[in-house]
Chains A and B, each alone.
Chain A
Amino acid sequence: MSQIETFYDVMRRQGITRRSFMKYCSLTAAALGLGPAYVPKIAHAMETKPRTPVIWVHGLECTCCSESFIRSAHPLAKDVVLSMISLDYDDTLMAAAGHQAEAALEDTIEKYKGNYILAVEGNPPLNEDGMYCIVGGKPFVDQLRHAAKDAKAIISWGACASYGCVQAAAPNPTQATPVHKVITDKPIIKVPGCPPIAEVMTGVITYMLTFDRLPQLDRQGRPQMFYSQRIHDKCYRRPHFDAGQFVEAWDDENARKGYCLYKMGCKGPTTYNACSTVRWNEGVSFPIQSGHGCIGCSEDGFWDAGSFYDRVTDLTQFGVEANADRIGMATAGVVGAGVAAHAAASILVSAQRKAQSKKSQSEEA
C-alpha cells in the first residue's frame, strides 16, 4: 500500500488540512526561490507522486545535523517534512531498536530498491578496518556501502559526510573519510556546514522529494541555490569592511558599533554558505551577528586551515580584494564593474584610515 502512497496521502493521514497543505506548497516555493507559478506544480507533484522513502544513517559524527534539522523553521516542518519523508530508517529518532531496527533497515532497502534516498550524517573511519565506528557489530563503512548500493541518490549531510570535518583533523586518528571517496557510483549531493542550516537541509530535501531530481549543483557538488554566494557577499557588516571599519579587539568600541570582524579572523570572504541570508535558529542570527567571525565551516578543510583567529590573508584567487588593509588596490576582476566602482569609493575611506592600516600591517609583520 505504501508503495503507491503519495506525499499528500501521508500528510492527510497526519491530519494536515488542505489549507495548511497549500500554505506549505507556497512557502516551499518561496524558500526554494521559485515563483508563485510553481505553487500548483508543487501541489500537483505532491498529490500524484509516490512519496520518496529516505534512509538516514549515522557514521562518525556528533548528530549536530539531525539537531539542526529538527529545529527547522521551515513552515510546518515539524509536521510536514518529518512525516513526508517518513524517515523510514533513522537511528536517532525512530521507535524501533536493536535487531528490530536492523530489520527495518533491511526491509526498507528491499522494498524500495533503487528508489530511495540515502541521507548520510557523519562519515566512515577507514583505519583498522573501520573498527572505530561499529554499528550492529559491523563497521559503519559496510553499512554505508550496503545501503548505498540500491539508493537512487545520496545526500551527504554536513561537513563530516561532505569533507571529513573535525574528526579528520590532523593527524586524522581514525582516517575519517568523506562519503564520496567511498561511494563513487551514485549521484551525491553535498550539503556542507557544521551543521548545515536547518532551512537549507529541509529546502534541499523538499526539492528532491517534490521534483524527483537533484537540485542544480556547483562544481563541488553543492546545491547552487544555497551555496553560490560567499557569507561576505551578503553580510550585513559588509559596508564596514568596504569602509575600512574593523573590530580591533573583542568587545571594543568598534565591536559595539557592529564593525567588520575581518581582523578578528572572520572567514566570511572565502566561505560559500547561506548564513548571512537565511541565518540560524529560525532566522534569528548567525555567528557574525553574535560578534564572532565566521570559521568557514562549510568549506573543505576548514578544521586544519591554521588558527580560526588568523585573518584571511590571500583572497586573490577569487579576484577580489587582496586583504582589507589594501582594500581597493586590487582589481575587482570577476565580480564586475559594480563592485569595482564600489571598491574605488572605498579607497577614499581607506586613505583616511591609512595610519591605522599601516599600524596593523606592522603588527602583522
Chain B
Amino acid sequence: MNGTRLLVGPFNRVEGDLEIRLDVEDGQVSAAYVNSPLYRGFERMLLDKDPRDALTLTPRICGICSISQSVAAAAALGDAAGLPAAPQGALVTQLLHAVENVSDHITHFNLFFMPDFTRPVYAPHAWRDEAVERFAALKGSAQHAAIDARAKLMHITGLLAGKWPHTLAIQPGGATKAPTQRDRTRILLSLRAFRKYLETHLFGAPVESVADLGNADALMAWERGDLGFFLRIATDLGLDGLGRGCGRYLSFGAYPGADGPLFARGVWVDGAAEPLDTSAIAEDLSHAWMLGPTAHPTAGETLPDEEMRESAYSWCKAPRLGGEIAETGALARQVVDGHPLALELAQSGGVLARVAGRLLEVARTQIAMERWASALRPEEPFMHHVDLPKSASGAGLVEAARGALGHWLRIEDGRIGAYQIIAPTTWNFSPRDASDQAGPVEQALVGAEVRPGEDSPVAVQHIVRSFDPCMVCTVH
C-alpha cells in the first residue's frame, strides 16, 4: 500500500465544487492537497462599480449563506460611512442572519453530513438500518422533517427581507422593512414552531437543556432525538478522534449587539483565549493560482494566474493569522465564547466536536432569536439615511454559519477602488503557504483511514463534511 495517490472528488452534498488529492501510505492519509476548482472573480467585477452595488452582487457569491454576505457588505459600507445602523434595523439584520445560520446548520446536519452513515460500508453496524430510514439522501424521515421545519423558519426571512436567498433588505443604515406588530407576532409564532421541531426531532428535549450541557460526559449521555442518534454512531465509530483540528480557533464575534456580540470575538490558541488582532491577517498566494505578494486584505488584489502554474494547486488563497492557520466555524465560535461544553470538545477537536458544536449553537441561537423577536419595536426607526463618502475605507467582519467572514472595501471617487473578501471556507480549506504549512483541512485529513479498495474513503468524507465547506464562497 505504499505511496499510492488518490484523487477524491467531485464531492457531492457540499456547496460547490471540491477536489482533494491524497497521498496514502500504509492505509492512512499522509498528506492532503485541497483544490477549489471554481473561480468567478467577484472581487474584480466589484471594481469601479457604485459601492451600493456590493449589497446586490456579494450575496450572489453564495445561495446558502447569502445573508452573511449581505450583512458583511452592509457592515463594510457602514464602517466606511462611519455611521452605525438604526438599533432596531440592526436587530432585524441580526434576526435574519441568525435564521440563515441556524438553517444552514440544520441543512448541513440532515442533508449533507448524516447521509454518509447510510453507506453500504456500514452495513455491519447495528444502527445502519435506522440511519437509512432517517437519513437516506432525499428520502429519510429526518430529512423531510428538517426540510419542512427549515422552510417554515425561513418565513421569517420572507417577512423581514422579502425573499431568500439573495435578500435586499439589509442596508448600511439598517433594514428596509419596518415590521408591524402583526409581523412581530408571526415571527414569534414561526420561532415557536421551529422550537417544536427542535424539541421533537433534533434534540427530543427542551432547547435549554442542550444549551446548558456543561461537559462532554453529559453530552455523550444524551440519547434523545437525532442528536442522540448521531452520538450513538459517533461513539461506535470513534468520531471524536477523527479529523482533529489545529487547535487554533478564530471568531470575528457573532451578532453584535449594543452590549457586545452574542458570541465573543477572539482567538483561541493553545488552550487560552486571546484578543483578535485583525491587522495580523494576511493572504498568502504561494500555492494559489493567483498573482501578487502576501498581503493584508486592505492591500490585496485578485489577479488569476491564467498559466495555472505547476507550483500552485487551487484558486483559493491561503489566509493566515500572524502567519499561522486557524480553524473557524460554529465550534470555533462556541470555544472562543467560552462555553464549557465547547471547551471540553475542543480538547479532541475532531468530527464529533465540530458537529456537536454546531448543534449546541443551534440551541443557543434559538433562545437568542426568541429574545430578539420580542424586542422588536415597530414604532421606532429601522433605517438611518447613510450618505457614502466619496473616498473612505471600511471593513465588515461577521460570522457566517461556517465561520469568520470579512469584507474589506475602499471607495475612491465614489466608486469601488478595492474589494477583498475572505470567507470562512477560505480559512478552513486554504492550500499551503510559503512556509509549506498545510491548511486546516489538509492537516485534519492526515492520518485518516483508507480502507483497502476505497477510492473515496469514507473517513475522508466525514472529516471534510464536518467542516461544512461552502466552496462557492471560498474562492468567489
Interface positions of A (Cβ within 8 A of B): 14, 58, 60-68, 70-73, 78-79, 82-83, 87, 91-102, 125, 128, 131-137, 165-167, 169-174, 176, 194-195, 249-251, 255-256, 275, 279-282, 284-293, 295, 297, 303, 307-309
A-side contacts of B174, CB under 8 Å? 250-251
Complex Cα distance, B48 from A170, in Å, reads 10
Pair A281/B383 contact, Cβ less than 8 Å: no
Cβ distance A196 to chain B, nearest Cβ, rounded Å = 11
B-side contacts of A73, CB under 8 Å? 151
Say whether, besides A174-B40, A284-B158, A290-B177, A91 and B15 are in contact (CB < 8 Å). Answer: no
A-side contacts of B89, CB under 8 Å? 251
Of B16, B53, B115, which one neighbours A63 at CB under 8 angstroms?
A: B16
Pair A132/B38 contact, Cβ less than 8 Å: yes
14 other A-B residue contacts (CB within 8 Å) besides A91-B10, A281-B157, A290-B161: A64-B166, A79-B144, A92-B13, A95-B137, A95-B138, A98-B8, A98-B10, A128-B308, A132-B38, A137-B19, A173-B45, A174-B41, A195-B165, A309-B50
Pair A280/B162 contact, Cβ less than 8 Å: yes
Of B10, B115, B152, B169, which one neighbours A136 at CB under 8 angstroms?
A: B10
Pair A62/B63 contact, Cβ less than 8 Å: yes
B307 and chain A: residue at smallest CB distance: A128
Can you report 7 residue pairs joining A to B where beta carbons are below 8 Å apart?
A72-B151, A78-B144, A91-B13, A166-B45, A251-B178, A281-B159, A291-B162
Pair A78/B168 contact, Cβ less than 8 Å: no
Of A58, A83, A97, A295, which one neighbours B56 at CB under 8 angstroms?
A: A295
Say whether, besides A135-B17, A169-B57, A297 and B154 are in contact (CB < 8 Å). Answer: no
Pair A93/B151 contact, Cβ less than 8 Å: no
Complex Cα distance, B36 from A6, in Å, reads 40
Interface of A is mostly: loop
Pair A93/B138 contact, Cβ less than 8 Å: yes
Sort A-B residue pairs by CB-CB distance and give the 5 closest, nearest first. Answer: A64-B63, A281-B158, A173-B41, A290-B162, A284-B158
Say whether, besides A62-B63, A131-B308, A165-B60, A97 and B176 are in contact (CB < 8 Å). Answer: no
Pair A98/B178 contact, Cβ less than 8 Å: no
A-side contacts of B52, CB under 8 Å? 307-309
A-side contacts of B144, CB under 8 Å? 78-79
Pair A94/B138 contact, Cβ less than 8 Å: yes
A-side contacts of B139, CB under 8 Å? 14, 83
Contact with A along B33-71 (1 / 0, CB 8 A): 000011111101100001011011100111110100000
Say whether, besides A97-B13, A250-B171, A284-B155, A64 and B41 are in contact (CB < 8 Å). Answer: no
A-side contacts of B211, CB under 8 Å? none
Cβ distance B470 to chain A, nearest Cβ, rounded Å = 9
Pair B38/A63 contact, Cβ less than 8 Å: no
Complex Cα distance, B60 from A169, in Å, reads 12
Pair A292/B63 contact, Cβ less than 8 Å: no
A306 and chain B: residue at smallest CB distance: B50
B-side contacts of A309, CB under 8 Å? 50, 52
Contact with A along B168-207 (1 / 0, CB 8 A): 1101011111100000000000000000000000000000
Complex Cα distance, B151 from A136, in Å, reads 32
A-side contacts of B15, CB under 8 Å? 63, 92
Pair B166/A291 contact, Cβ less than 8 Å: no
A62 and chain B: residue at smallest CB distance: B63
Pair A307/B50 contact, Cβ less than 8 Å: yes
Pair A290/B13 contact, Cβ less than 8 Å: no
Q: Which of B10, B45, B63, B163 is most buried by chain A, counting CB atoms within 10 A of its CB? A: B163
Of B11, B38, B41, B137, which one neighbours A134 at CB under 8 angstroms?
A: B38
Pair A289/B63 contact, Cβ less than 8 Å: no
Of A101, A171, A173, A293, which one neighbours B12 at CB under 8 angstroms?
A: A101
Contact with A along B1-45 (1 / 0, CB 8 A): 000000111111101110100000000000000000111111011
B255 on the A face (CB < 8 A): no
Complex Cα distance, B19 from A286, in Å, reads 37
B39 and chain A: residue at smallest CB distance: A132
B8 and chain A: residue at smallest CB distance: A98
B-side contacts of A61, CB under 8 Å? 63, 472
A87 and chain B: residue at smallest CB distance: B138
Of A79, A93, A176, A308, which one neighbours B40 at CB under 8 angstroms?
A: A176
Pair A291/B16 contact, Cβ less than 8 Å: no
A63 and chain B: residue at smallest CB distance: B63
Of B17, B111, B155, B162, which one neighbours A93 at CB under 8 angstroms?
A: B111
Cβ distance B376 to chain A, nearest Cβ, rounded Å = 14
Pair B154/A170 contact, Cβ less than 8 Å: no
Pair B10/A135 contact, Cβ less than 8 Å: yes
Pair B40/A60 contact, Cβ less than 8 Å: yes
Cβ distance B177 to chain A, nearest Cβ, rounded Å = 4
Cβ distance A2 to chain B, nearest Cβ, rounded Å = 15
B-side contacts of A281, CB under 8 Å? 151, 154-155, 157-159, 163-164
Complex Cα distance, B139 from A92, in Å, reads 14
A70 and chain B: residue at smallest CB distance: B147
B223 on the A face (CB < 8 A): no
B154 and chain A: residue at smallest CB distance: A281
Complex Cα distance, B160 from A212, in Å, reads 39
Contact with A along B125-163 (1 / 0, CB 8 A): 000000000001111000010011011101101111111
Cβ distance B94 to chain A, nearest Cβ, rounded Å = 16
Complex Cα distance, B136 from A63, in Å, reads 21
Complex Cα distance, B16 from A271, in Å, reads 29
Complex Cα distance, B42 from A170, in Å, reads 10
B-side contacts of A170, CB under 8 Å? 45
Complex Cα distance, B62 from A194, in Å, reads 11
Of B11, B147, B456, B472, which one neighbours A62 at CB under 8 angstroms?
A: B472
B176 and chain A: residue at smallest CB distance: A291
B298 on the A face (CB < 8 A): no
Pair B40/A255 contact, Cβ less than 8 Å: no
B-side contacts of A137, CB under 8 Å? 7, 19
Pair A134/B16 contact, Cβ less than 8 Å: no
Pair B178/A256 contact, Cβ less than 8 Å: yes
Pair A194/B12 contact, Cβ less than 8 Å: no
Pair B176/A133 contact, Cβ less than 8 Å: no
Complex Cα distance, B77 from A309, in Å, reads 15
Pair B64/A292 contact, Cβ less than 8 Å: no
Pair A166/B17 contact, Cβ less than 8 Å: no
B304 on the A face (CB < 8 A): yes
Complex Cα distance, B150 from A282, in Å, reads 12
A264 and chain B: residue at smallest CB distance: B176
B-side contacts of A249, CB under 8 Å? 385
Pair A173/B40 contact, Cβ less than 8 Å: yes
B-side contacts of A290, CB under 8 Å? 159-163, 167-169, 176-177
